[in-house]
Amino acid sequence: MLPLADVQQRLRNAVVADDFRAAAPLLIGGVDATRRLAIHRRHYETSLVAALMGRFPATAWLMGTAPIEDAARRFVHIHPPTAPCIAEYGRHFGVFLAAEPGAERVPYLQSFAELDWHLGRLAVAVDLPAASRDEVAAVPPLELANARLTIQAGTHYVEASHPIDDLIRFYLANDAPERLELPDMSVWVEVRGARGAFRFARLTPAAFAFRASLANGLSIGDSVARAWVADASFDPGAALALLVDAGLVTGIDGQWAARN
Amino acid sequence: MSSTHRIPTRAGVGLRLPHIEEVVATRPSAGWFEIHPENFVANPRATELLQDLARQYPISVHTVGLSVGSVGGIDRQHLRRVRALIDLIDPILVSGHLAWSTHKGEYLNDLLPLPYDRETLDIVARHLREVQDGLARAYLLENPSSYVGFTGSTMTEVQFLNELVDRTGCQLLCDVSNVYLSGQNMGYDARGYLDGLPAKAIRELHLGGFTPEEDEATPGGKVLIDTHATRVAEPAWDLYAYAIQRFGPRPTLIEWDNEIPALGVLLGEAEKADAVAREAGRSEAHHVAAG
């Protein structure tokens, strides 16, 4: 018998890459056991295509179910999941879709599909207790710049070349016009989700840079620096107060927090 | 570590996400519920609801992604996520499959078959110990549904499971429908299979629907597919009655994962399992008295 590592490599190649040749001599089951192994290949494909279609409902609404399903069928064989939680699968399907022939006709397809994927994540999020102004004010002023804030997990920041937030709101409301021209207009959007409900807010480029940087784990000081690149008149104190008042901050990390 | 809930005497049903809000809202009469942790560890809202249900119902955790048969080892990050969920809901039982699904960083989203030989036995035994240590509790191993076997296997599945129980102290989840399905697909006697299992190690039974289709491997033949998309078939109910006679009453679960019906249909199947088990128990008592 081959080492188990070789057996599993051959079965993997059959299931993922449709190459049954090396597995055939290892198997028993019926007259042609590779046809039986094909049951696993079929399950792999159908279950993952179904999972992707479940994660990209708005994208299928926008582009049509058939082309998205065709793309999903190819995607699952090129990019297998890397973790057992299939709800987390498909994060990069938007990049794949944007490289498909014809995708250039929909220049916002990648960002729209990525937003679609994140909506699935935000729909199942729950809000955690938010930090108060007093808790943030307790950080010594000299240490504030190095502090990092934890932002509500059900928050997503997206910058797009077209108003895809309007488009996804049409999908969510099931209320799309017969024909819609999306203008060539950059948007900076904050999406909050919890327990199935969503809120969309358009931000200024500077506020977006500040909040998205914090959400990506940058310190307050570095996030302010990003915001100043977008707008030299950006007011960090007011922006921080607005962020806290919106209930978006759930934790404060830094040397100060470690000492306390 | 053991749960504060008692092991249930009534059959339970698999709790899938489409039903969770309804179960929270209606609190149906049910023996217990079983969940797949992979549906919850990335879903805070569903976990919140599950924690609520766990205060009222016994819950079992049935993993589909731990992959004890993968030569590459256990995904420790996933094991930690499962442990964290277990710590939240205090399940009555934790189980998974004699199968593999991960390979060099890929997750193949299926329960793939293993050859039964010494090397596989060593690997699965090592991984079972790691899982049981990581979860700090006994782990029940489920017999697979099989469409293929391996020319290189040197022992039967029953021999393999017996050796694993002896080596690791793991316990077994006997999926009665899988025994029937695999017996049909691979040509062995399902009752003989049950006779060979170590009765004391059987802690749970599963019943699920399967779907016959044309067997492309054998022209004119049929192959049974483990779809979990239909009611339990009559031959599986018959084998379940035999399992109860052979092992005695065991916590029994109805699995239905695809084309999921109304919750009432699932609970009806659980009631049927209770009725079949009661009848099988009476029949067994009659045999004992007559003997």
A-B C-beta contacts closer than 8 Å:
155
CB-CB neighbours of A47 under 10 Å: 15
Q: Which segments of chain A have a pLDDT < 70?
A: 255-260
Query: What ranges make up the beta strands (E) of B124-256?
Result: 140-142, 149-150, 171-175, 202-208, 211-214, 222-225, 252-255
Q: Is residue A111 part of a domain?
A: no
Question: Does residue A32 share a domain with residue A143?
Answer: no
Query: Which tokens belong to A197?
Result: 């409900």
Among candidates A3, A11, A125 on the partner chain, residue whose Cβ is nearest the Cβ of B119: A3
Q: Residue A223 belongs to what domain range?
A: 124-260
Would the CB atoms of A85 and B65 count as touching at under 8 Å? yes
- Percent of chain B whose pLDDT exceeds 90: 92
pLDDT of B1: 56
Q: Which of B271, B275, B280, B203 is nearest to B239 (CA)?
A: B280
The reply to whether A139 and A240 lie within a common domain is yes
Last residue of a domain, one of A71, A106, A141: A106
**Is the CB of A7 less than 8 angstroms away from the CB of B70?**
no
Contact flag B217-A31 (C-beta cutoff 8 Å):
yes
In a domain, A115, yes or no: no
How buried is residue A53: exposed, middle or buried, by Cβ count under 10 Å (0-12/13-18/19+)?
Answer: middle
Pairwise CB contact (< 8 Å): B109 & A7:
no
Considering only the beta carbons, identify the residue of B45, B146, B217 that sits closest to A124.
B45
Q: Is A130 in CB contact (< 8 Å) with chain B?
A: no
Asked whether the beta carbons of residue A4 and residue B120 sit closer than 8 angstroms, the reply is yes
Kindly state whether residues A2 and A66 are assigned to the same domain: yes
Chain B positions in Cβ-Cβ contact with residue A29 (cut-off 8 Å)? 146-149, 185-186, 217
Same domain, A28 and A88: yes
Inspect the interface and report whether the beta carbons of B103 and A88 lie closer than 8 Å: no
Using the Cβ of A37 and the Cβ atoms of chain B, whether some distance falls under 8 Å is answered with yes
A88 contacts in chain B (CB < 8 Å): 42
Q: How far is A45 from chain B (nearest CA, A)?
A: 9
pLDDT averaged over consecutive 10-residue blocks of chain B (291 residues)?
A: 75 97 97 97 97 97 97 97 97 98 97 98 98 96 98 98 96 98 97 98 98 94 97 98 97 97 98 97 66 46
Query: Do A152 and A257 lie in a common domain?
Result: yes
Residues A190 and A154 in one domain: yes
Whether residue A113 lies inside any domain: the answer is: no
For residues A97 and A149, membership in a common domain is answered with: no
Q: Is B28 helix (H, G, I), strand (E, B) or coil?
A: coil
Say if A230 is an interface residue toward chain B (CB within 8 Å).
no
> Closest residue of B to A88, CA-based?
B42
Q: Which residues of B touch A86 (CB under 8 A)?
A: 38, 109
Q: Do B115 and A1 touch (CB under 8 A)?
A: yes
Backbone φ, ψ for residue B188 (5° rounding): -125, 170
Is position A192 within any domain?
A: yes
Domain boundary among A106, A141, A157: A106
Interface test with A, best of B35, B109, B260 (most A CBs within 10 A): B109
The predicted pLDDT at position B285 comes to 64
Number of domains composing chain A? 2
Q: A101 and A138: one domain?
A: no
Q: Is the domain of A250 the same as that of A172?
A: yes
A1 to chain B: closest CA residue: B152
Whether residues A12 and A68 share a domain: the answer is yes
pLDDT (0 to 100) of residue B291: 46
Nearest to B142 by CA among B85, B181, B107: B181
pLDDT of B6 reads 76
pLDDT in tens, A63-111: 999 999 999 999 999 999 999 999 999 999 999 999 999 999 999 999 9
- A74/A147 same-domain check: no
pLDDT value of residue B288: 54
* Domain assignment of residue A202, yes or no: yes
| Preferred mutation among A2, A27, A91 to probe B, highest tally of B CBs within 10 A | A27
Distance from C-alpha of A57 to C-alpha of B221, rounded to nearest angstrom: 39
The 10s digit of each residue's pLDDT in A239-257 is 999 999 999 999 998 766 6
Q: What type of residue is A122?
A: L
Answer yes or no: do A87 and A152 share one domain.
Answer: no
Compute the distance between CA of residue B53 and CA of residue A137 in angstroms, rounded to an integer: 39
pTM: 0.94
Q: Determine whether B282 is exposed, middle or buried from the number of CB atoms within 10 Å of its CB (0-12, 13-18, 19+).
A: exposed
Does A28 sit within 8 Å of B217, measured CB to CB?
A: no
What domains appear along chain B, each with residue ranges and CATH number?
28-290 (3.20.20.150)
